[in-house]
Amino acid sequence: AQSVTQLDSHVSVSEGTPVLLRCNYSSSYSPSLFWYVQHPNKGLQLLLKYTSAATLVKGINGFEAEFKKSETSFHLTKPSAHMSDAAEYFCVVSVSNTGKLIFGQGTTLQVKP
């Protein structure tokens, strides 16, 4: 069975400093992995996705994630946080050939001025 674990429920950074949101996955086959962002009172937006192509995936708004099979990780990073990055971030794995998504518990990113 597939699952994802987000290692931090809350991350706080200062504006202009790097962001690291950690995600480990469990899958019996090569997974498809995603990061979604949810701003307060807004819908879910796809940040980036990994679907067995390049292991370093670049997304929107300067975010990127690296798929590391040996570590079963898919951490999300950004070199410099912006106040507008404050939101809830979800690491997600898809269940093969079903279209179903399994969400991690979410990480709240706080960006301090």
Partner 1 sequence: SAVISQKPSRDICQRGTSLTIQCQVDSQVTMMFWYRQQPGQSLTLIATANQGSEATYESGFVIDKFPISRPNLTFSTLTVSNMSPEDSSIYLCSVPTGLETQYFGPGTRLLVL
Which residues contribute to the site for partner 1 (CB under 8 A)? 32, 34, 36, 42-44, 46, 49, 51, 90, 94, 98-106
Q: Give least dist CB 74 to partner 1, A.
A: 14
Q: Which of 95, 3, 85, 101 is nearest to 38 (CA)?
A: 85
Closer to partner 1 at the Cβ: 15 or 101? 101
Closer to partner 1 at the Cβ: 17 or 45? 45
Closer to partner 1 at the Cβ: 73 or 104? 104
Q: Give least dist CB 65 to partner 1, A.
A: 15
Residue 43, classified by CB atoms within 10 Å of its CB into exposed (0-12), middle (13-18) or buried (19+), is: exposed
Task: List phi, psi (to 5°) of 75.
Answer: -80, 145
Closer to partner 1 at the Cβ: 75 or 104? 104
Q: Give least dist CB 47 to partner 1, A.
A: 12
3 state SS of 83: helix
Q: Give least dist CB 98 to partner 1, A.
A: 8
User: What is the H or E stretch that residue 6 is in?
Assistant: strand 3-6
Q: Which of 104, 108, 99, 100 is nearest to 73 (CA)?
A: 104
